[in-house]
Chains A and B, each alone.
Chain A
């Protein structure tokens, strides 16, 4: 169980995403998760061992390290990636639910069901419209919120995105103000700026995807309104729905027998 498992889980979502969504997923896996695993973890690997304070006082180094790094960059990025990937699962669950409903209809032998076999239902790609559109849009919105929250938390906790070489610490039990030196500060700054830049690109991609979905939605609505104006003789939606409901009720009660009393 590792990032590969997350890749397997999210890979399924890819099929039902827009093109921008697919680009976002690629950026996430290549420029964030892969960089985190192959490079960043090595750079931050020895962070506490090589964090050196100019004192022999036992405990001073521990306390100063804890004071300046309440939560390590690496862990914060790992949490950010997990939280940012999770809303896509909402879409996966919705698609799975729809497939389940179609399979149920197919098994009931519903004539309205247009599939030839179960395999076709399994392979089918659902269009992003109706309730799936709302789920998809909410997932993008959640992603944006999580990205923004984590970026702000990062900025707030570390006073910016630069890693200083030297930190001055006077937390107890350090005797006076003590100089503490961070290991590989420049390399860490470079990686931090890289991860922040890729986060920003992901935010831009999410915003673009959101705008694209909203534009598509409004265009579709105006098209439907236009069609309704030009063809007023067609039944309106309400009537069609009512007719369908009536059909459903009469179909489902086919097995009940009317008019016999128990003797």
Chain B
């Protein structure tokens, strides 16, 4: 069990995503997961060994390190990556449920089990909201736990058994800070992508519903050019499948 599992999970999700969703997966893979594994992990590898206090008192270094790093930044980063990828599983489960239902009843219940409409749309929107929420929660947690995203060179510690206030030095603070800012930047980028995907889906499906309702309700009120424009728009949003002549929508306009 390693990061390869997360990679396989996200690749599976890719199949049922929109275009923006696929960009989100690419950003998570390359700018977050890959950077974490090839670069960030090594910076924090010996953080405890290299944490040095200006004191010979046994136990003082341990206690001070534990006080300033209750949860290591790298562990929090790993947790964030896992939590943020998991809501996508809801979509995978829902599609699997749909496929199972179709198999069980031995009839075609959906146009395509992976198409984002109806219940799957709700699941998809919920997963997007969860992803955004978790990103924000982790960013706030980072900010609160470490008093911002800066990593100081020196921290002053006076917890027992340290005899007085003792200077403790953190290793590689500048490098850690650079990578923390990188983490924040990619998190914000992912939040923006999720937000745009949410807006896009809500807009697209509102227009779809409006078109369906409008065309059914007001048959006589269209002129030639509006009808043509509606036709075009309808074709783009509700692509017709072959053999759909039976379900013809009637558009009526006055010539």
Contact = CB atoms under 8 A, between A and B. Distances in A.
Nearest to A172: B154
A22 to B, nearest CB: 21
Interface in B1-35: 2-4, 6-7, 19, 22-23, 26, 29-31, 33-35
Nearest to B35: A82
A252 interface: yes
A122 B170 CA distance: 53
A109 B37 CA distance: 46
A55 B5 CA distance: 47
B175 A262 contact: no
A253 B228 contact: yes
Interface string B175-201: 100110000000000000000000000
Given A79-B35, A173-B54, A253-B228, A66 B174 contact: yes
Contacts of B220: 261-262
B227 interface: yes
A70 B38 CA distance: 18
User: Is chain B's interface secondary structure helix, strand, loop, or mixed overall?
Assistant: helix
Nearest to B227: A256
A5 B231 contact: no
Nearest to B224: A258
B65 to A, nearest CB: 13
A258 B30 CA distance: 53
Interface in B205-255: 219-220, 227-228, 231-232, 235, 239-242, 244-245, 248-253, 255
Contacts of B167: 58-59, 173
Interface stretch (B45-53, B69-77, B89-97, B136-144): B45-53
A2 B242 contact: no
Interface in A1-26: 1-3, 5-6, 9
Contacts of A9: 29-30
A260 B250 contact: yes
Given A71-B178, A256-B231, A62 B252 contact: no
Contacts of B33: 1
B153 interface: yes
B175 A62 contact: no
A66 to B, nearest CB: 5
Nearest to B242: A109
Interface in A61-106: 61-63, 65-66, 69-72, 74-75, 78-79, 82, 85-86, 89, 93, 97, 104
Contact of B240 (A75, A82, A108, A173): A108
A58 B171 CA distance: 12
A63 B167 CA distance: 12
A249 interface: yes
B242 A97 contact: no
A262 B7 contact: no
A109 B245 CA distance: 14
A259 B178 contact: no
Contact of B178 (A63, A70, A85): A70
A69 B43 CA distance: 12
Contacts of A85: 30
Contacts of B53: 58-59
A82 B30 contact: yes
A70 B175 contact: yes
Contact of A63 (B30, B55, B169, B242): B169
A108 B244 CA distance: 11
Nearest to B254: A261
Interface in B38-87: 38-39, 42-43, 46, 50, 52-55
A5 B7 contact: yes
Leading 9 A-B pairs by shortest Cβ distance: A59-B169, A1-B3, A70-B174, A256-B251, A62-B169, A58-B54, A252-B235, A78-B39, A75-B39
6 contacts: A3-B38, A58-B53, A62-B153, A66-B174, A69-B172, A255-B248
Interface of A: 1-3, 5-6, 9, 48-49, 57-59, 61-63, 65-66, 69-72, 74-75, 78-79, 82, 85-86, 89, 93, 97, 104, 107-109, 173, 249, 252-253, 255-262
Given A59-B167, A63-B169, 8 more contacts: A1-B6, A1-B7, A5-B34, A74-B39, A82-B35, A85-B30, A108-B239, A255-B245
